[in-house]
A and B are shown apart, each in its own frame.
Chain A
């Protein structure tokens, strides 16, 4: 069955330190891949997406993600975390050969930022 795994439930990072959130997927073919962020009281906001091509994807708010086919991974990174980055982050995947299909989400990773 198709699935997305986020191994880390909760991560704490010091402000200014680098961040990497892990995401692995299990799909028959390479899916479209997404990272969303949810701040308290807000909806899910798309940070970045990967469809094909360059495996290093740049997103909003200084985030980037790297697609690694050999590892079935799509890890999210940020070189220097800000206190406002504290939120819950979701990795999601979507079947790439069919329009309008649903997203499959990981369980989410909660990021805390310490001063």
Chain B
């Protein structure tokens, strides 16, 4: 079974440019999460999809970030325009459908996309 995949593995862009990150979750996983790790800091939650719907986007830093999950399969995270502080590693994770009242579904993580904004 293929794991969570992310593309690209590394992206270097200039300030003001646009970048789109892609995440392909494990097949059949309804839940998809985006996280980000800025250098020297902890991994922080950005948002959570359940199928194609945004369940929680409380971690999105500002309106320069746009996440989509059309059709409930893969997801994209667009940064437009990119700023220096957006540099970091962006992780995607997926998990199976939640059992009622329980949050104990393991989140499977991809290798991350390292974004460098210069």
Contacts and interface: CB of A to CB of B under 8 A. Distances in A.
A95 B95 CA distance: 16
B73 to A, nearest CB: 18
B43 A49 contact: no
Contacts, number: 71
B98 A100 contact: yes
- Size class of the contact patch on chain B: 20 to 34
A49 B50 contact: no
A90 B102 CA distance: 22
Interface stretch (B13-21, B75-83, B103-111): B103-111
Given A90-B43, A108-B42, A103 B107 contact: yes
B74 interface: no
Contacts of A45: 109
A101 B109 CA distance: 15
Interface string A49-67: 1010000000000000000
Interface of A: 4, 32, 36, 41-46, 49, 51, 90, 92, 94-108
